[in-house]
Amino acid sequence: MSNPGEVKLARLQEIRSVIRVLDGMDHKYDLPAENTSSEKVPNLTIEDMSEKAEIFEKLISQLLPSIKEQIFSLFTSLDINDLAKHPNPDVRSTLKILLKLDRDLQSILASTVSLVYKPLLPHEKHDHNMKDFKMFRCSELRRRIDGLLRSYINALFECCRDMLQFCAVSAIDSNVAFWDESWVPSRRIHVAIPHVIDRIDEIIKWHPQSDWAIIQEDWQWQVASCDQVLELLTESFTYEFDSAPNLANLTIDSIQDRDLIIENEKQLARDKASLERMLAVSTSTLTLLKLTRILIRKILKMIPKKPIFELDTELNSETIIQLRNVFDFLTSSLSDPLYKLRMIHCSDRATIVDKDSIHGLLKKLSTAFEPTLIRLAHHLIPSLYGVEHASAKTDFDAWSLDLNQLWDKAAAYSLHLISALEVEPDRERRQET
C-alpha cells in the first residue's frame, strides 16, 4: 500500500513538471521585429511560388485548426469546466497536449517567418498578381499571427500556469480557504480560451477574402462607428434645461440678499443661453458626422462586383493600404471636437479655453473633407477599370462636388457658431479659482 505522503509528493512533482514546460513556453513563439528592408527577388520561379503556396496552405488548413483542437483538449484535461468544484487536472494528458502545442506553435512561427521575413516579392507598387503573397497580405498575416502568439497564446499559458500553481499547493495542503481562491485563474482560462479561438477563426476567415472584400470590411466598420457615435452623442446633446427656482415663497431678510438672488437668476439665465448656443454648435457638428457617413456609404457602393480571381489581380499593396486608410484623417479629425463637446455637455459648463480649443479643432476639421475626396479620386477611381471606370468617375465627380459644398457650408456654420459663443470673463475667473 502506497504511503499517503509519497502519493502527495509524486502528485506535486507531476504538476511541477507541467509548470516547468509552461515556463519554457513563455514568449517562446514571439515573432521577431518586422524587417522592412528584406531583400526582394525580382525573378520569381514557379518552384518558388509553389513552395510558398504549400507553406501558406499548411498554415491555414492544418496548423491553425490543429491549435484549436489542442486548446479544446487542454481545457478538458485541466478539469475546469465546472467552476464550482475544485479542479483535478489530468497531468499526463495536459503534458502531452502541451508538447503537441509546442510543436505546432513552433511550426506556425517557422511558417510565418518563411512567408513574411524571406519574401520573394516585387515592390508593393508592382505586386498586383501576387495574390496571397502581396506585401500587404504578408504584412497583415504577420500582424495577425503575432497578435495571436504574443498576446493571446501567452496570456492563456500564463493563466494555466497560475491555476496549476494552486493545484501544486493543494497536492500537499487541502486547505479549504486556499481552494476558495482557485476559481480566479480557472475563470481567467474560461475567458482566455474563447479569445484564442476567435483570433484563429479570424485568421482563417481572412485568408480567402479578396482585396476588395478586406477594404469593404474596413469601410463598413467606419460606417458602424459613425452610427454608434451618432447615437451616443445625439443622446448626450439632448439637454434639458432646469427652470429657475421659484423664489416667491422665500423670505428675503435684506436688500443684500435680494440683490444676490437677482444676480443668481441672471447668472442662471446667462448659463442657460450659453449652453443653448453650445448645443447649436454640437448639433451643427453632428451634421458633419452625418455627411461623413453618407460619403463612406456612397463609396461602398462603388466597390466592383467581379469574380474573386479578377478582384485579386486589380490592386497592388500600396493602393490597398491607401484605400483601407483613406477615411482615417477625416474620422480622427471628427472625433476630437465631438469628444470635447460631449465633455462640455457632461459638465454643463463652457470656458474660454473650451471655446478656443473647439474652434481650433473645428478649423482643422473644416479642411479634412476635400483631401479625402482627392485621395479617393487618386486611388479608388483608377482602380475601377473599363466601363466601370468611366461611369464611376463621372458619377463621383458630380456627387462629390455637391457633398463637398454641403460640407463647406456646415463647417462654416459650426465655426460661426463657436466664434459667436460668449463665455463671460467673470465666470471664467470664478471657475479658475
pLDDT tens string for the chain (433 positions)?
Answer: 467 667 777 888 888 999 999 999 999 999 887 654 445 555 556 676 788 889 999 999 999 999 999 999 999 999 888 877 778 899 999 999 999 999 999 999 999 988 887 655 566 676 766 777 888 888 899 999 999 999 999 999 999 999 898 888 776 666 655 555 656 788 899 999 999 999 999 999 998 888 888 999 999 999 999 998 888 887 766 654 444 444 444 444 555 555 454 455 555 555 555 666 777 888 888 999 999 999 999 999 888 777 665 666 678 889 999 999 999 999 999 988 888 888 877 766 677 888 888 899 999 999 999 999 999 999 998 887 654 555 678 889 899 999 999 999 999 999 998 888 776 654 444 444 4
Residue 215 CB-half CA count within 13 A: 32
What is the distance between the alpha carbons of residues 242 and 272, in angstroms, rounded to a whole number? 9
Lookup result for grid cell 513563455: 26
Q: Which uninterrupted H or E stretch holds 127?
A: none
pLDDT computed for residue 283 by the predictor: 85
What are the angstrom distances between the C-alpha of 88 and each of 96, 375, 392?
A: 16, 60, 64
Please give the grid coordinates belonging to residue 93: 494528458
CB 27 within 8 A of CB 150: yes
The class of domain 4-208 in CATH terms is mainly alpha
pLDDT computed for residue 61 by the predictor: 94
What are the angstrom distances between the C-alpha of 90 and each of 104, 134, 142, 187?
A: 21, 45, 35, 18
User: Model's pTM, two decimal places?
Assistant: 0.78
CB 395 within 8 A of CB 301: no
What is the distance between the alpha carbons of residues 135 and 376, in angstroms, rounded to a whole number? 21
pLDDT computed for residue 119 by the predictor: 59
What is the distance between the alpha carbons of residues 70 and 114, in angstroms, rounded to a whole number? 24
What is the distance between the alpha carbons of residues 346 and 343, in angstroms, rounded to a whole number? 5
CATH of domain 217-432: 1.20.1410
Where do you find CATH 1.20.1420 in the chain?
4-208
Provide DSSP, 397-422. HHHHHHHHHHHHHHHHHHHHHHHH--
pLDDT computed for residue 296 by the predictor: 96
pLDDT computed for residue 352 by the predictor: 82
Burial 276-312 (b: 16+ CB within 10 A, else e): ebbbbbbbbbbbbbebbbbbbeebeeebbeeeeeebb
CB 169 within 8 A of CB 16: no
CB 244 within 8 A of CB 269: yes
Where do you find CATH 1.20.1410 in the chain?
217-432
Helix or strand or coil: residue 136?
helix
